[in-house]
Amino acid sequence: MATRKTIPKTRKLKTNNFVTILEQHLDKYNLSANSTLEQLREHAPELNAQLHDWTDRKSIKDLLVRGTKKRKAFSKEQIGVLVPDKRKEKLTIEERAKYCAKAGTALDIFTHHLELDPKNKDENEIVAAASRQSTFRVKLAEGGVDTTTIDTLAKDPELIQESNKIQKERTDETMANSDGIPPHFSLARVRERLQNIDTSKIPNRENLADVIVMLSMRPSEVSSLQIIHYEPESEDPPAWYKRGYTWYCIGYKKDKGKKDPRRFLSMEKDPERARELLIWIQEAIKARKLRDPVYDKNGKRNIGNVRSFNEFLKQKPYKSLPKDLRKTGGKHACRTHGGPKSTPQHLSNLTKIALRHYIGLDAGNNYSKGDTETEDSESDHNPESESESAENDEISDIINIYRMAMTKATPKARKPKTNNFKSILEQFSEKYNLSAKSSPKQLSKHNKELGVSLQGWEARKCVKDLLTRRKYSKKKKESLVPDKRKEKFTIEKRAEYCAKTGNKWDIHRYSINLGPKNNDRKEVIASASRQYRFREELAKAGVNPEIINNYARDPALIQQSNKIQKER
């Protein structure tokens, strides 16, 4: 019986060899703890060339920290210079754009654009990647790169569509605004109770909870929060003043630095009524007719008050927590002042104002399309909504300059509505007499026909959820609705596709995708082999050899692979 030959592994440096490597390097260049940072920096590359991964570098750093009888221990700054942290060598988006604008070629722009792609299929990562690429395009334009070049090499229409779709779904969820909110604290019920409050009576804890929701307050802000009216008397207003806003809040908690007045926004559109209800609660607390949810009469935190209010909210029909009241109020304010066509960035802006958060520029919030104007822009509670919407539209218009496609996108098939998935699945099951008792083989015979009706991962997820309710096993669900992410291109299919389209950037993208996933020596050799096969298949398909050499060949990777194999 023939024995299987094992491939010899690359010999890794033994732990006790790091001492020899370090001592030889220090002796060779006469380096010690007394050496200057410039001297250490000069000879650092040669030492780091012998260290293949982070474990090697960590071992050397540990040796430098300990010191020996012959030499003193190196300082933290000296160690950072001699063995620099490789993780800090990543370029920022601004640095990438600056490099591409000054000395970069078209290939550099495209490569840096690909490096900003999403790392996985997570929705947050897709939106973040689209935001990164949008920022990259803006910085390229600021650096003087031609708009046509930016649109051709640094724009991914599919990613933009997917990101906008995700944000639209999140907008719909925000507008629905029902997840996690107890029925007692729904927008309609809270609004009705607030309208029926009689301020001549003594407030109770339910009134307190409703006012906390109305003002999106923390329980600790009940006694300190104040609503003020301010109009500038001069042409040089303070920095915190926002043109068009006349109502502000002071006395809020948990804010770093100077606590400037923040814009006031709540589910109660009349700020006078909101202030009246707040003062009504505060006066009852001062008169000790109502207990503060956090502090005692001396202004000190009282655990008894906190527990009492928590226990009250745990009862029916409240079924909530103090921290959730504030979040609920932010959602209600957002829903009250957000129009039907509000985009994620506008809804996010409204929520931040209601919660009295610091509002800065967020590239991700400027990424979606749509009208940011609200239906309630004329209310004297929020007169700046229209001006803010115009500002957001201006930003969107600027960014949209760099989103124009060179070619027309192919129209996609209309997706069935969510409530149609049930009928689609039932009709399909009846047509082929399929059920939870069917074998995976029977189900897999018809999965292609069902897959045609399901456009996108959301449609497939809805059908999988329906199958779960019908008690289909995991294996059977996978047979009927297979995971499209697992249908990766083979090298031959990649080459065939590139030969048909004739797009050199597709060739470069697929070549990069076949590159090493990590710095492991086996992976370096395997990736070099994959790229070599890719070039062979491209040549067989009739692609120009010059294009293959320019866009599908990585000399550095080939050299690294040959060096590793030679050492073996």
Tens digits of residue pLDDT in 84-98:
877 666 778 888 888
User: CA of 415: how far to CAs of 34, 173, 293, 362, 456, in Å?
Assistant: 70, 19, 50, 31, 8
CA 165, chain centre distance (Å): 15
Dist. CA 559–CA 38, nearest whole Å? 31
Tell me what pLDDT residue 182 has: 83
User: Is 0.75 surpassed by the pTM of this model?
Assistant: no
- pLDDT tens digit sequence for 236-249: 788 888 887 888 88
Which residue is listed with tokens 């609705």?
Answer: 481
- Cα–Cα distances (Å) from 531 to 66, 536, 548, 554, 560, in that order, read 44, 9, 11, 8, 14
Confidence of residue 176 (pLDDT cuts 50, 70, 90): low
Judge whether residue 180 has pLDDT over 80: no
Whether 409 shows a pLDDT value over 70: the answer reads: no
> What pLDDT is stored for residue 549 in this prediction?
87
Q: What is the pLDDT of residue 373?
A: 36
Can you tell me the distance from the alpha carbon of 286 to that of 299, in angstroms, rounded to the nearest whole number? 11
SS3 90: coil
| pLDDT of the residue at 173 | 67
Reference 80, options 71, 72, 91, 89; nearest CA is 89
pLDDT tens digits, 489-499: 688 888 888 88
For residues 368-392, give the mean pLDDT: 39
Q: Is the pLDDT of residue 548 over 70?
A: yes
Cβ-contact 475, 442 below 8 angstroms: no
CB distance 26 to 71 below 8 Å:
yes
Question: Closest Cα to residue 163, out of 344, 396, 373, 298?
Answer: 344
- At residue 133, the pLDDT reads 92
The per-residue pLDDT of the chain, averaged, comes to 79
Per the CB < 8 A criterion, the answer to whether 148 and 283 are in contact is no
CA dist 350 and 488 (Å) reads 42
What amino acid occupies position 456?
A: G
Helix (H) or strand (E) holding 56: helix 54-66
Residues 452-480: pLDDT tens digits?
777 667 777 888 888 888 888 888 888 88
Distance between CA atoms of 165 and 489, rounded to whole angstroms? 26
pLDDT value at residue 485: 59
Taking the alpha carbons of 297, 302, 307, 313 in that order, is the dihedral positive or negative?
A: positive
Instruction: Answer whether residue 406 shows pLDDT above 90.
Output: no
Res 367: pLDDT: 39
The reported pLDDT for the residue numbered 377 is 38
Longest dimension (CA), the chain: 98
Strand 247-250, strand 262-263: pairing: antiparallel
**Tokens (6 digits) for 566:** 């030679």
Point out which residues pair with 482 in neighbouring strands: none
| Strand-pair partners of 250 | 226
Average pLDDT estimate for 40-69: 83
Q: pLDDT tens digits, residue range 319-350?
A: 888 888 988 898 888 888 887 777 777 888 88
Q: Give residue limits of the domains in the chain.
A: 17-88, 104-155, 184-232+239-353, 418-486, 491-567
| Strongest mean pLDDT among 130-139, 227-236, 496-505 | 130-139
pLDDT value at position 334? 86
Query: What is residue 138's predicted lDDT score, i.e. its pLDDT?
Result: 92
Residue 170 vs residues 124, 166, 167, 344, 410: alpha-carbon distances, Å: 11, 6, 5, 7, 25
Give the residue, 122 or 449, on which the prediction is more confident.
Answer: 122
Query: Which SS3 state, helix, strand or coil, does residue 161 take?
Result: helix
3-state secondary structure of 175: helix
Q: Residue 226 belongs to what H/E stretch?
A: strand 226-229
Contact by Cβ (8 Å): 265, 336: no
Q: Quick one: average pLDDT of 67-78? A: 84
Q: Bin 370: left if φ > 0, else alpha if -120 < ψ < 50, else beta.
A: left
**pLDDT over 80 at 307, yes or no:** yes
Contact 528, 567 (CB under 8 A): no
Radius of gyration of the chain (CA): 32
Q: What is the pLDDT of residue 396?
A: 44
Interval 418-439 mean pLDDT: 79
